[in-house]
Structure 1
Amino acid sequence: MPGRRPNLTRRGLFRGMAGGAALLGAGVPGHAAASSSRVLQVEPPPEVPRAETLVVCAADHAFAFGDAGWMNPFLPGMSQSGVQFAFEPLAMYHVLTGETVPWLAAEWAYDDDATELTVGLRPGITWSDGRPLTATDVVATLRLLRDGPASLRAAAAVQDRFLEARASDDLTVLLRFRNADPRFFHDVLAAAGDRALPIVPAHVWAEQDPETFRNIDPEQGWPVVSGPYRLVADSADGRLWDRRDDWWAATTGFQTLPAPRRILWRPRYDDSHLARLAVDAEVDTTPPLTPSRIATALSIAPSLTSPTGAEPPFGAVDWRPLVLGFNAQLAPWDDPAMRRAANHAIDRAELVRAGELGRGQAATLPFPDFPAFETIAADLAPLLERFPVDAYDPDQTTALLRGRGYVRAPGGVFARGGQALTLPLVTAPEHVGVAAVLVAQLRRAGIDATVETPPDAPGRIAQGIAVAWLWPHGGGVRDPYLTLDRYHGRHAVPTGETALSPARWRDSAFDAIVDRLLTLPPEGEDAGAAVIEAMAIWLADLPEIPLVQTFSRIPLGTRYWTGWPDTATGRDPASWRA
């Protein structure tokens, strides 16, 4: 990742934050920045030994937290630097095992036609200010998202699918949906992957504007949270969270207190600096590293391990396969034949062998390789014979391009009407290995591909400024619906507007199938048939090209901490998730 190298030491960060000086807030992207106003001032935090402090580098904001002075879980620009455990979800779905763990909710049940859902909360849940967490808080959170702008995190799904909720008593919530919706609990209410619907206190948020509410005010005890840590210091350089020994889950016997007395959250740095911090045990875990970087770090630091220990692939399968995506509104890549031409220029085996040092896994479908998808992957095998996405066939690339009027110029690049066929890509630093191999393959086939890693790549992709991208895409973790919904035509907003799903592809027949799929029980035969019908359209048009499964190759330090979640326990240790 390009950028400045931080000249910040752990000791200096503690000293600066422990002094209780006024800490200045920067603006959340898309929101007004703070000037020199005081946004958080606390008593000097008590000294906590390093051996009792978990030190984490964030996965998103690079070099500095652009959201210092904010703790609003609904803003798209919020970093995952504590907000994910401060506001707890109703349940957690473990993607590696398919297990759903009730959390704030103790139970839930749909009515016979899946148009209503009843959720029962655990007794004894309290907020950090001592007030009880009740059904009123759940209802208020859902209404906040239903009635607020669609740009808020989780708002789009709530607005599309949720109709109303009411509290029948302190521990019971009754929800009504716009249509039969047997997936709503797992799709929206349960945390899974990077998705979570945080429940917030109604007595704090009732009179607030969710787009402008900072939710930080020490005099009022904000943020009021339900999770096991409270925010004690906040700046662009880092965040300190101290354990709450009165956490409801511990006092009720539901959970034990987490071992770290303090969590220090630092921003993300460039890949090489992250690896050095992990090797030196200055941080305990980081965002994913490249295959070569984590292999080197593990080889020179005996105190480091990974989600798969010392053995490749050094990470758990992520919920977001890596794809070659296109803005389907921009010529010439709005043409399915052009996208198929690019696909047949790609040798996935070489992407894994050279781009991931043999420590990866090819992908031919837009779904993660989780247990929940084994049956549907088998059901789709006949379609992959009809649409051989995995076929590396440069001759087919040539034939498709010639069929669209392209001629290979003396320099080897195809051109039409005097214009060379270009494909400018953006990607993230952790994917540069795969990107370099992909670009070489496309260029060998006559497509003038290039790649860059701009810091604003997510914004370029979301706004359609990027022509194409090498990026992990989210979607379903329990069944295919949320993945297929990414390609629904309602997301195909004009280029220049921010899209919740960036492909900007539209097919009315596909949309109708996805709308029908939403109402069908995910385990039923009708749902399976609908998925096959939708995927036949998707594979024919190929709005995005699946390349490889993504792995969260995360270094895990054992000098100060043991018992990390790993693939053997079926738990994802990614620190930025709930």
Structure 2
Amino acid sequence: MEMQWMPRRLLVMGMALLSWGGLAGCSKSKQQEGTAPGATAAAAKKTNVLTVAQEAQASWIRNFNPMLAPGTARWPSRSGVYEPLYVFNTLKGEYVPWLSSKYEWSEGNKKLTFALRPEVKWSDGQPFTAKDVVFTFELMRKHKALDLFAVWSYVEGVQAKDEHTVEFALTRPYVPGLIYIAQQPIVPEHKWKDVEDPVTFKNENPVATGPFTEVKVFQNQVFELGRNPNYWQKGKPAIEGLRFPAYPGNDQANLALLNGELDWAGNFVPDVEKVYVSKDKENNHYWFPLVGNTVMLYVNTTKKPFDDVRVRKAFSMAIDRDQLVRVAMYSYTKPSDASGLCDAHARWRNPAALAAGAGDWVTLNVDKANALLDEAGYKRGEDGVRVGPDKKPLRYDINVVTGWSDQVRAVQIMAQNLKAVGVDATLKTYDFSPYFERMQKGEFDITIGWTSEEPSPYYFYRDLMSTETIRPVGELAARNWHRYANTEADALFKTFETTSDEAEQRKLADQMQVLFVNNAPAIPLYPNPSWGEFNTRRFTGFPNAENPYAKLSPNSPPENLFVLTEVKPK
């Protein structure tokens, strides 16, 4: 059974269009309706409305269907409008009760039971019950396009035991499935039961349980959501609403941020201290904790020489990660260690996996890289480029997306680094769609990419090493783009899936790390920051390094619910 990671990747890409400068070259579109973003932001300042930039869109399409992949429905359909049973807090490494107050595994982890909060109502005043949860998941069974994370590949059935108790029966023990069940947005049966096609349903006037359910304004260039009149958390939200001006790309959103038109954003801002903070040190703030995904260099292990672990480690040793971090990432991050884990998984790190030099292949060492390539049989030719036993030179493109300025700089640096070990590497840019298609199909030699952001290393390592995630070259793979499989790792994944005991999970994750470190299936570069900026002229209560109650970034639903329910007017 393979989890379908594609929607998660699309979420990351939605983030990337803002945080990686993916649309830096876009120009502003003409205003089709309503007023200009700057003017609408100025209007918002007169009220208790939070102005947010999260999506890169030239104009808005009115769609609040939370069952669709992020990017199709307007933000925050999957969190601030509709809500899940639980929310996983990445920074604290724990599940936080939300529409459900308790969950419990039973019957050998083949049954998962949720106790729902009796005080929850829909925004139209109707009671929220277990029947709504059952209805939501049955919609996903009937319409596979809505089952974004393939829960029905391991869920056998779901039933309401009473008004406030929901029971999921699994086909086999699959504890990692908790995140996808618990964080599924729930829709109301009484409003959706007569919807003819929930896949194309735009849900223009949502009835939901979230803190912001009322569409106050919806124009091509701006929309505004107001407070849920029946929100179940007493006294929350403290703000009246959310306002979203349309910005076609990162440059326009950053300009609005610098001009003080935004209260909250999740953008990549070059030299943020100088460009943003220095303009108003009292009110302009940012927080970029390293709890995003890990930026990776993927080499295609179906091709020679990348099927040889010595070559993969040699390529890694040729890379100057300190230079990548300093030049490409403005020192916002740090070089990755050989585990590949970002700080979101810091408590899972296994020092023993990196002991005795096992992880030294992520440290710049040109001499050792050259020695490994010599040992693997790749000798330098007269032009200095290494040649394999098949007489083919080590000459490759490194794929990256046009306009992702930080990633382009990183690839330029790596291409230069690799020349020192006799590898002729060249930057190759593509528009996102062909870049992503080539990566999914395994039709590349080397490409820069990303990893998953799920709660434990199980997901991270399964993506990178499981035989179940392997697809033939030419066939779309939701993950494991580099096509690497390890049967020892498979056994660890299977055992991990059956246990809810964290001590046992930790032992298994330790062993996964050892396998990854020893085999270098992919080359970790650096953890991606979780981008977030905020302005305190009108609002307070944002998370930061001194009060790290949640991610600051608006780019990670449903975790942004923590911020939406905590921010207060000044």
TM-score of Structure 1 vs Structure 2, range by shorter chain:
0.7 to 0.9
Q: Assess, with a 3 A threshold, how the Cα gap between structure 1 residues 69 and 168 changes in structure 2: closer, same or farther.
A: closer
Supply the distance in 2 between the matched residues of 1:376 and 1:145 (Cα, whole angstroms).
35
Partner of 1:56: helix, strand, or coil?
strand
TM-score by length of 2: 0.81
Unaligned runs of at least 5 residues, structure 2: 1-22, 38-42, 559-570
Supply the distance in 1 between the matched residues of 2:370 and 2:409 (Cα, whole angstroms).
26
Supply the distance in 1 between the matched residues of 2:181 and 2:266 (Cα, whole angstroms).
25
Aligned to 2:340, which of 366, 370, 391? 366
Spell out the pairing of 1:32-47 with structure 2 (5 A cutoff).
Answer: none
Supply the distance in 1 between the matched residues of 2:427 and 2:544 (Cα, whole angstroms).
36
Contact preservation (8 Å) 1:57, 1:268: no
Aligned to 1:155, which of 133, 149, 159? 149
Supply the distance in 2 between the matched residues of 1:70 and 1:508 (Cα, whole angstroms).
43
Q: Assess, with a 3 A threshold, how the Cα gap between structure 1 residues 529 and 100 changes in structure 2: closer, same or farther.
A: closer
Q: Which residue of 2 aligns with 1:81?
A: 75
Partner of 1:132: helix, strand, or coil?
coil
How far has the Cα of 1:410 moved from its partner? Answer: 4.9
Tell whether 2:314 aligns with 1:341: yes
Supply the distance in 2 between the matched residues of 1:290 and 1:106 (Cα, whole angstroms).
38
Supply the distance in 2 between the matched residues of 1:235 and 1:544 (Cα, whole angstroms).
45
Q: Which residue of 1 aligns with 2:252?
A: 273
Tell whether 2:231 aligns with 1:284: no
Aligned to 2:386, which of 399, 414, 420? 414
Supply the distance in 1 between the matched residues of 2:282 and 2:211 (Cα, whole angstroms).
27
Q: Counterpart of 1:166 in structure 2: which amino acid?
A: Q
1:88-119 CA-to-partner distances (Å, cap 9, x unmatched) read: 01112221123432110111122262221221
Partner of 1:552: helix, strand, or coil?
coil
Tell whether 2:87 aligns with 1:109: no
Aligned to 1:165, which of 150, 155, 158? 158
How far has the Cα of 1:263 moved from its partner? Answer: 2.2
Aligned to 1:92, which of 87, 90, 114? 87
1:310-330 CA-to-partner distances (Å, cap 9, x unmatched) read: xxxxx1222312221234445
How far has the Cα of 1:420 moved from its partner? Answer: 4.5
Partner of 1:317: helix, strand, or coil?
coil
How far has the Cα of 1:359 moved from its partner? Answer: 3.7
Q: Assess, with a 3 A threshold, how the Cα gap between structure 1 residues 385 and 112 changes in structure 2: closer, same or farther.
A: farther
Contact preservation (8 Å) 2:224, 2:243: yes
Q: Which residue of 2 aligns with 1:322?
A: 295
Tell whether 2:153 aligns with 1:175: no
Tell whether 2:138 aligns with 1:140: no
Q: Counterpart of 1:485 in structure 2: which amino acid?
A: R
Contact preservation (8 Å) 1:284, 1:556: yes
Supply the distance in 1 between the matched residues of 2:70 and 2:253 (Cα, whole angstroms).
25
1:152-192 CA-to-partner distances (Å, cap 9, x unmatched) read: 45432x1333222110111101112222334443x2234xx
Aligned to 1:562, which of 540, 545, 551? 540
Spell out the pairing of 1:110-509 with structure 2 (5 A cutoff).
Answer: 110-111=105-106, 113-149=108-144, 152=146, 154-156=148-150, 158-185=151-178, 187-190=179-182, 196-206=183-193, 212-217=199-204, 222-229=205-212, 230-234=214-218, 237-244=221-228, 246-250=229-233, 253=234, 255-267=235-247, 269-270=249-250, 272-293=251-272, 295-302=274-281, 304-308=283-287, 315-364=288-337, 365-370=339-344, 373-382=346-355, 385-416=357-388, 417-427=391-401, 428-447=404-423, 448-452=425-429, 454-456=431-433, 457-477=435-455, 479-487=456-464, 488-503=466-481, 504-509=483-488
Partner of 2:314: helix, strand, or coil?
helix
Supply the distance in 1 between the matched residues of 2:196 and 2:304 (Cα, whole angstroms).
40
Residues 197-206 or 507-516, more deviating = 197-206
Contact preservation (8 Å) 2:531, 2:553: no
Supply the distance in 2 between the matched residues of 1:79 and 1:544 (Cα, whole angstroms).
33
RMSD: 3.2
TM-score by length of 1: 0.79
Supply the distance in 2 between the matched residues of 1:4 and 1:212 (Cα, whole angstroms).
30
Supply the distance in 2 between the matched residues of 1:470 and 1:294 (Cα, whole angstroms).
27
Partner of 1:92: helix, strand, or coil?
strand
Q: How many residues align?
A: 518
How far has the Cα of 1:403 moved from its partner? Answer: 4.4
Contact preservation (8 Å) 2:324, 2:413: yes
How far has the Cα of 1:485 moved from its partner? Answer: 2.2
